[in-house]
Structure 1
Amino acid sequence: MLRVGITGGIGSGKSTVCRIFETLGVPVYYADEEAKKLISCDEAVKSQIIDLLGEDAYLNGQYNVPFVKKAVFQDASLLTALNGIVHPAVKKHVIMWMEGHRGRPYVLKEAAIMKKGADLDKIIYVSASEEVRLARTLERDTERTEEEIRAIMKNQFSSEYFKGISDFIIENENNLLIPQVLAVHQKLLTS
């Protein structure tokens, strides 16, 4: 079974591309969604976050996003430490998830942060211009301002980085997605 990563910047259309792969019967692991579940439900993760940030990290048993955001944006070392809790938990979880899908030709792990050789056999990059990504994100995330989205983009890997680590590129500007996904799917089935 091939372990395939699918990545791209905010608003690139990773989720849309993943849904097309899912219609082809390909299992998809959504790293951000699973991280949120682990932060909310995994007692070991919760305990480590409380040890790092204090009891205010959870309010009535719920992850206190505004408090955590404020804390980690004021102190970069706290963000690094928080990622040091969450990322290993997600990595362990995705490995177990992939093991549960043995026998499939390939599975996808969707994540905004991805590195070459990070327990993945192939990487797909979903590409779109910054302006298209900004417009999509503003439409989707109505609670975010343009400045907030641009700040997120600035902190993400560049398109050059993504292109450099990727085996396949799906252009999601004004291009038809389905033919591109089908072409990648066929190549992965024969890899």
Structure 2
Amino acid sequence: MITVGLTGGIGSGKSTVAKMFEDLSIPIFIADIEAKRLMNSSKIIRRKLIKEFGDNAYTETGLNRPFIASIVFNNKEKLSILNSIVHPKVHQSYNRWLKKHKDEVYTVYEAAIIFELERQNEFDYTILVTADENLKLDRLIKRDNTTKEELQKRMNNQWSDEKKIPLADFVIENDNLNHTKAQVSIINSQLIKKHNS
């Protein structure tokens, strides 16, 4: 089985691309969804987050995402601490998930910060989703109902596309859906070919 890491900056549309692979019957592991689940269900993560971020890290209903976000997107050190608490547990979940899909041609792991965490070598291939900066901002303002300034702060915590492109095996320019779908189809065929050879 081939393992593929799918990544892209905030607003690039990597979730849209992941869905396109899923529509081709490719198993997808979405790190962000698993991280959210674990932050609400793991007692160990909960204890560490409260120790690091204080009692406001959780409310009666679970993780206080706006509170945590307001801290980590303004403080790279705190973001790094958050990642060091959550990512190892997500990785354990991924390894268990991978065993269940060992008979597949290939699987896709979708996460925002594969290159930033130097995790590209854990996958056989990596796919980077890119998009024009203004298009990213437009998508995010509509999606998150937030300001350009807030989004810029979040973008500044991630590497630029220019820095990531040389590290990726495949690059998908997500500028319009038909073009994106065509690129996904080509990469899918290439991965099947690589598996069969």
What is the TM-score when the length of structure 2 is the normalising length? Answer: 0.88
2:171 corresponds to which of 165, 169, 172:
169
For the residue of structure 2 that corresponds to 1:29, the secondary structure is strand
Question: Which residue of structure 1 aligns with residue 188 of structure 2?
Answer: 185
Q: CA deviation at 1:55?
A: 2.9
1:140 counterpart = 2:133 = no
Q: Distance in 2 between matches of 1:152 and 1:73?
A: 6
Structure 2: which 5+ residue stretches go unaligned?
none
RMSD, aligned CA:
1.8
1:104-147: CA deviation from partner (whole Å, max 9, x where unpaired) = 011101111012534111000111110111111112222x1111
Question: In the TM superposition, what are the counterparts of 1:7-22 in structure 2 within 5 Å?
Answer: 7-22=7-22
- The within-5 A match list for 1:1-191 is 1-60=1-60, 62-72=62-72, 76-115=76-115, 117-142=120-145, 144-174=146-176, 176-191=179-194
Structure 1 residues 13, 181: CA separation in 2 closer, same or farther (over 3 Å shift)? same
Please list every run of 5 or more consecutive structure 1 residues that lacks an aligned counterpart in the other structure. none
Measure the CA separation in 2 of the matches of 1:177 and 1:67.
Answer: 35
Equivalenced residue count is 190
Alignment TM-score, normalising by the size of structure 1: 0.91
User: Which whole-Å CA distance do the structure 2 matches of 1:60 and 1:75 have between them?
Assistant: 26
**Secondary structure, counterpart of 1:5 in structure 2:** strand
In the TM superposition, residue 154 of structure 1 has moved relative to its aligned partner by: 1.9
Give the match's secondary structure for 1:176. Answer: helix
**Amino acid of the residue matched to residue 124 of structure 1?**
I
